[in-house]
Amino acid sequence: MVRTRDRVAKAVLYAVLVLGLLAVVGPFVWMALSSVKPEAEIREVPPTWWPETVTLENFRELFSRLDFPLYFFNSTLVAAAVTAGNLLFCSLVGYALAKLRYPGKRLLFLAVLGMLMVPGMVTFVPQFVLVSNMGLTNSYAGLILPFLVGPFGVFLMRQFLLSIPDDLIEAARVDGAGELRIFWRVVLPLCRPALATLGILTFLASWNNFLWPLVVATTEDRYTLPVALALYSVGQNKTDYGLLLAGAVVVVVPVLVVFLFLQRHFMRGIATTGLK
Amino acid sequence: MRRTIRTGAAALAAVLALAACGRDAGGGQEEATAVAEGKATGEITVWAMGTEGEKLADFAKEFTAENPEATVNVTAVPWDAAHQKIASAIAAKQTPDVSMIGTTWQGEFAKTGALDPTPPDLFKKDDFFPGAWDTTVVDGTAYGVPWYVETRLVYYRKDLAAQAGFPEGPKSWDDLKAMAKGMKEKAGATWGMNLQPGKTGSWQSVLPFAWSNGAEVATEDTLSFGTPELTEALAYYQSFFTEGLAPTALPDGALEPGFVKGEIGAFISGPWHMGIVEEQGGPGFKDKYAVARMPAKKSSTSFIGGSNLAVFKDAKNRDAGWKFVQWLSKPEVQVKWYQAVKDLPAVQAAWEDPTLSGDTFLATFGDQLADAKAPPAIPTWEQIAAAFDVEVEKLCKQNTDPAATAKAIQDQATAIGTGA
Amino acid sequence: MTSAPAAAAPARPVGAERSDRSAGPVRRRQRLRRALTGWAFSAPFTVLFLVFMAVPVVVSLAMSFTDLRSTDLRNPFAVNVVGFDNYARLFRDELFLRASVNTLVFVAVGVPLTIVVALAAASALNSALVRFRALFRVGFYLPVVTSIVAVAVVWRFLLDPEVGLLNNVLRVVGVEGPNWLGSTTTALPSLIVMAVWRNFGFLMVIFLAGLQAIPGDLYEAARLDGATRWQQFRTVTLPLLRPTLLFGGVVTGIGYLQLFEEPFVMTQGGPLSSTLSVSYHIYNQFGFGNYGYAAAASYVLFVAIVALSVLQFRLLGERS
């Protein structure tokens, strides 16, 4: 009796999930397929699905016009640094906010939340003037430092760390471990899902960041990938869709790689191991 | 207690800082300074957008050959958000020596005081198309020179037009309407004409009709949208929609395929569409379409756009920057630049070159450029244009009365002001 | 070892018991040590935060009380202080009011919808019933990473009144679908659906992390007590997921109140401003160079965001 109920539930679940999957992958598949179509076919209305003509011209043109290794390196360096910074500093602060007691903690958390709620556009110009007065224009530091930490990461880690049982930490403290050691050895390993989540989201945001790198870089050798791609595909009055889509495919591949690599860590069981 | 003192101190500091603010009445004409004689020297940093940015570095090698002590350092900037990049650079005083500037941005950037007035010894106003030169003039002073231009023409299907009774294309307002009607009724097109029904940039399609009807519309000091000439132009524009000749909701991207298939008989656009349409239509399509001057009422006036070149006041190498700009404005160099990137020259003498005068389509563009206008170089133009677009959208989709539309635009424009 | 859910253990602050036993200087020293530890952990973040985030916020707030325009950028102090003038003007601005209504509708419908869909997807992928979880996880996350240009083309096609998939499907059952993106009544709902589609993957990833942190023993215990899957969800999952749900709700609310990309790419705020969002209006104002005015609008938006978040904290926050 239970088994049939289980099987029906399974079937329904699979059906819903597969339908959902088809619904979500559509544009992505179109994007990938269209990157190998000639410009005229991409503009066809109604849009074609399978390419009538397959051409690698878009990619060829992209790689010949674009100094791909340079921009890829810049984007990778910046995104990796920003992600590492966020993972480290935000979890430190998140832990302090969730588990430690110290004066000013509430004010700090409120400030973090407040910052999270400030609409992005309004601080852009003051932030740029500040960074340029610090002499950081056209430098990797200028691309990385303003994003090395973020209120989003702090909020996420704090919420997640709240659910780590205090007994664990107490036990370690009773054993005489220093706070940093507790953080590093006991708490952080339990946070793998949250860290993986924060890692992916931060990497994605940094990788796709367009406006800041555009404004901070004054010479092309500090451009990141999205900036360089926009350079070649969007004109004053016309858009080169072939290049745009080829660029979009190129930009998305590293993100998917990072995602595939990190999503393994949404694994059940890690959180339970400490309770014995 | 401590907290109150601290917040109090912060508030006081803020109030004092704000109290230090204040505008003084300023403005008026600026005098241009002459440029030193001789060849250019030193490093010249240039910002250019899009394809121009890509190709300029290579192209400038000829300049450095003639001026061996100078180097040209070009940074290509994407069009997307280029306006923001230049504005931010001005705010942080991190501008290059020379930059390409969109014509509609000129007013705003000139008013920041960041641009250097054009030295009269290097450039003559009459060398350039009048409409283009006007885009560089703010408060009576020119800041920069036009680099390349574009203007709008009527693109139409020759075969459909012939069936509609207009083998030579439309010449007047009545012609255009009749041709559109004929294309629909006799030649089987779904839409005789495509006109932008409001939304961003529709003013570039509507104002040519207004200008062709003698409407002044806007100058640096006055905004006159509430005129009978503009109302008449709006009514004419609206009639295409009410008579079913133009679509009110054409899906994005459907224009070019529609034109190629013969479903759309005509549309208004600039020189870049030649490439798109010929690519979409494949080989041989060039024979199927043609371009015509804006249809005439009191005149045949179109919109002129393009980009200008400006040198910044904070430039490290001002003199060399102007010399580079001067070199780019030589007619031979303008022709060579056209051959490199297909940008139409802003210098009138360049059009005598057979590359341009020999091609029929290009010759029509050149012809139209002599009678093409641009909006005044005021910093508030983008905002006024946005209000204009919103009212035009109501005009085309909701059939609002043209006179009421004109009045609404005038009211909003007056509220926005000329930013003087 | 089965025990009561971890959340039942009181979240006692660190070192509280110790201070009861000692007195005077020892207690002060311990408090000092605690304070130092806390701030040592928070220091790198706080420094970067103050410099790169707090300062620009203060500056832009000050900007909202002036009539700063982009033409003043070289001389930002040569502007007039206009007090609350910008703010007052906002509430007389027809477009801003329209945008506010649009945005509120968008949030009121979009946030709950996204949370429900994301939670459903995360629960489904967390369940032991499903194989190939990685495939689904990546798949559902794809809309978040797909270029907005590709998304726009496909969705525009889907919603096209003549050749679009949706209307063709409706035609099969005899219903004539409207011009989804071209009609002032259906444009915003269409964008809501599109936004939910685009963003649920982001939230799903967060919920998955939260679900993973719930120990399996608890479900085991509940099942032994005879609870159905739905009851397990209500009594085990939801309460333990609370901090994550709060986080998800706040972050989605913040994101949706700042809706920008979808109307920007799909409808340019139209038709007739029916999809104009507050963020889009602010973007336009910055584009026009009305920096002071746009800053004021941004801080009004900020107040709305704070209000919504406070509401969510009240509903979903810790009971302490």
Sketch the domain layout of chain B as residue ranges.
42-151+305-373, 153-303+377-416
Residue C215: predicted pLDDT = 81
Question: Which pLDDT score is estimated for B20?
Answer: 64
A234–B50 CB contact, under 8 Å: yes
Asked if residue C39 has pLDDT above 60, the reply is yes
Identify all chain B residues contacting C160, using CB atoms and an 8 Å cutoff: 251
The whole-angstrom separation of Cα B94 and Cα A30 is 41
Classified as helix, coil or strand, B259 is helix
Do the Cβ atoms of C289 and B390 come within 8 Å?
no
Residues 102-121 of C with CB under 8 A from A: 121
Cα(B86)–Cα(B90) distance, integer angstroms: 6
B84 CB neighbours in chain A (<8 A) are: 124, 211, 214-215
In the structure, what pLDDT confidence band is assigned to residue A2 with cuts at 50, 70 and 90? low
Say if C148 is an interface residue toward chain B (CB within 8 Å): no
Mean pLDDT of all residues in A35-58: 85
Single-letter code of the amino acid located at C105: V
Task: Give the confidence band of A264 by pLDDT, cuts at 50, 70, 90.
Answer: confident
The more confident residue out of A258 and B151 is: B151
pLDDT at A268: 40
From the list A45, A126, A173, the residue facing C56 with the nearest CB is A126
Query: Across the interface, do A24 and C46 touch by the CB < 8 Å criterion?
Result: no
Residue numbers of C between 62 and 91 with CB closer than 8 Å to A: 63, 73
- Fold equal for B42-151+305-373 and B153-303+377-416: yes
Reported as a single tens digit per residue, the pLDDT across A238-249 is 788 888 888 888
Q: Is B220 on the interface with C (CB under 8 A)?
A: no
Q: Is the pLDDT of residue A110 over 80?
A: yes
- Give the whole-angstrom CA distance, residue B384 versus residue B387: 5
Predicted pLDDT of residue C10: 41
Interface contact flag, B108 C74, Cβ < 8 Å: no
Contact between C280 and C257 under an 8 Å Cβ cutoff? The reply is: no
When CB atoms are compared, the residue of A40, A210, A236 closest to B50 is: A236
DSSP C19-36: HHHS-HHHHHHHHHHHHH
DSSP 8-state assignment for residue C9? S
For residue C271, list chain B residues with Cβ-Cβ distance below 8 A.
249, 393, 397
- The count of domains in chain A is 1
Read off the pLDDT band of A267 (50, 70, 90): very low
The values of phi and psi at residue B35, to 5°, are: -100, 140
pLDDT band at A276 (very low <50, low <70, confident <90, very high): very low
Distance CA B90, CA B104 (A): 17
Rounded to whole angstroms, how far apart are CA atoms B147 and C122?
56
| The pLDDT value given to residue C279 | 94
- Residue B67 token pair: 């001026």
What length does chain B have? 420
Give the span between the Cα atoms of A109 and A99, in whole angstroms. Answer: 13
Kindly report which listed range (B292-296, C233-237, C278-282) carries the lowest average pLDDT score: C233-237
Strand partners, B137: B142
**Which CATH class name applies to B153-303+377-416?**
alpha beta
> Of the given ranges (A2-6, A37-41, B356-360, B413-417), which has the lowest mean pLDDT?
A2-6
Structure tokens belonging to residue A203: 């990497």
pLDDT at residue B18 in the model: 60
Q: How far apart are alpha carbons B337 and B356 in whole angstroms?
A: 12
Q: Which chain C residues are within 8 Å of B379, Cβ to Cβ?
A: 69-71, 289
| Token pair of A171 as six digits | 């036990």
Measured in residues, chain C has a length of 320
pLDDT recorded at residue A43 = 79
Q: Which two tokens stand for residue A12?
A: 């329904």
Query: What is the mean pLDDT of the segment spanning C54-61?
Result: 93
Alpha helices in chain A (DSSP H): 2-34, 39-42, 57-65, 68-85, 91-99, 105-117, 124-133, 140-144, 151-162, 166-174, 179-181, 188-190, 192-208, 211-216, 225-233, 241-263
Taking 50 as the threshold, does the pLDDT of residue A274 lie above it? no
- From the candidates A159, A229, A241, which should be mutated to test the interface with C, based on the most C CB atoms within 10 A? A159
CA distances from B189 to B155, B241, B257, B266 (A): 15, 15, 13, 10
Tell if the CB–CB gap between B108 and C80 is shorter than 8 Å: no
Q: Report how far residue C146's alpha carbon sits from residue C139's, in angstroms, rounded to the nearest whole number.
A: 11
**Residue of A61, A218, A233 to mutate, interface with B, max B Cβ within 10 Å:** A218
A20 within 8 A of C140, measured Cβ to Cβ: yes
Interface test with C, best of A163, A258, A260, A270 (most C CBs within 10 A): A163
Q: Which residue has the higher pLDDT, C49 or A234?
A: C49
Say if residue C15's pLDDT is above 80: no
Taking domain B42-151+305-373, whether its CATH number is 3.40.50.1220 is answered by: no
Q: What percent of chain B has pLDDT over 90?
A: 77
**Element at B155 (helix H, strand E):** strand B153-157
Of C42, C306, C55, C73, which Cα lies nearest the Cα of B10? Answer: C55
ipTM of this complex prediction, to 2 decimal places: 0.84
Q: What is the pLDDT of residue B10?
A: 53
CA C69/CA B301 separation, integer angstroms: 33
Partners of B223 in the β-ladder: B218
In angstroms, the CA C29 to CA B178 distance is 93
Q: Which domains does chain C have, with CATH numbers?
A: 13-63 (no CATH), 85-316 (1.10.3720.10)
Residue B387 — very low, low, confident or very high, per pLDDT cuts 50/70/90? Answer: very high
3-state helix, strand, coil in chain C (%, to 5): 70, 0, 30
Per-residue pLDDT tens digits for A167-210: 888 888 888 878 888 888 888 888 888 898 899 889 989 998 98
In this prediction, residue C182 carries a pLDDT of: 84
The answer to whether residue A169 is domain-embedded is yes
Least-confidence region, from A12-26, B386-400, C98-112: A12-26
Nearest Cα of chain A lies from the Cα of B404 at a distance, in angstroms, of 31
Helix or strand (DSSP H, E) at B138: strand B137-138
**Distances from the Cα of B289 to the Cαs of A158, B168, B205, B278, in angstroms?**
64, 11, 20, 9
Look up the CATH number of the domain holding residue A212.
1.10.3720.10
Phi-psi region of B91 (alpha: psi -120 to 50; beta: other; left: phi over 0): alpha
Give me the domain span that covers residue A66. 60-275
Whether A54 maps to a domain, the answer reads: no
- Which pLDDT band, with edges at 50, 70 and 90, does B14 fall under? low
Four-point Cα dihedral B231, B236, B241, B244, nearest 10: 150
Least confident window among B74-83, B154-163, B397-406, C143-152: C143-152
**Can you give the pLDDT at residue B11?**
56
In a domain, residue A237? The reply is yes
Question: Could you write out the DSSP letters of every residue in A72-135?
Answer: HHHHHHHHHHHHHHIIIIIHHHHHHHHH---TTHHHHHHHHHHHHHS-GGGGHHHHHHHHHHTT
Res. B164: pLDDT tops 50: yes
Statement: residue A271 has pLDDT above 60: no
* A-proximal residues of B, 147-176, CB under 8 Å: 150
Provide the shortest C-alpha distance from residue A184 to chain C (in Å): 12
Q: Residue C318 above 70 pLDDT?
A: no
* CB contact at 8 A, A126 and C55: yes
Contact criterion met (CB < 8 Å) for C71 and B379: yes
The minimal CB distance from A154 to the residues C45, C52, C124 is found for C45
Q: How many CA atoms lie within 13 A of B44 on its CB side?
A: 29
Amino acid residing at C88: A
Smallest CA–CA distance from C183 into chain B, residue: B249
What are the helix and strand counts (H, E) for chain C? 16, 0
Which distant-in-sequence residues (6+ apart) come within 8 Å of B266 by Cβ? B154, B155, B156, B157, B161, B176, B179, B180, B183, B192, B193, B194
Least confident of A51-55, C88-92, C219-223: C219-223
The pairing of beta strand B302-311 with beta strand B145-151: antiparallel
Banded model confidence at residue B289, pLDDT cuts 50, 70, 90: very high
Q: Residue B213: pLDDT above 70?
A: yes
Tell me which of C17 and B192 has the higher pLDDT. Answer: B192
- Per the structure block, which two tokens stand in for C243? 């901090």
Identify which of A218, A185, A192 has the alpha carbon closest to the alpha carbon of residue A272.
Answer: A192
**Does residue B257 have a cis bond before it (omega within 30 degrees)?**
no
Cβ C45–A245 below 8 Å, yes or no?
no
Using alpha carbons, select from B156, B183, B179, B177 the residue that is nearest to residue B166: B179
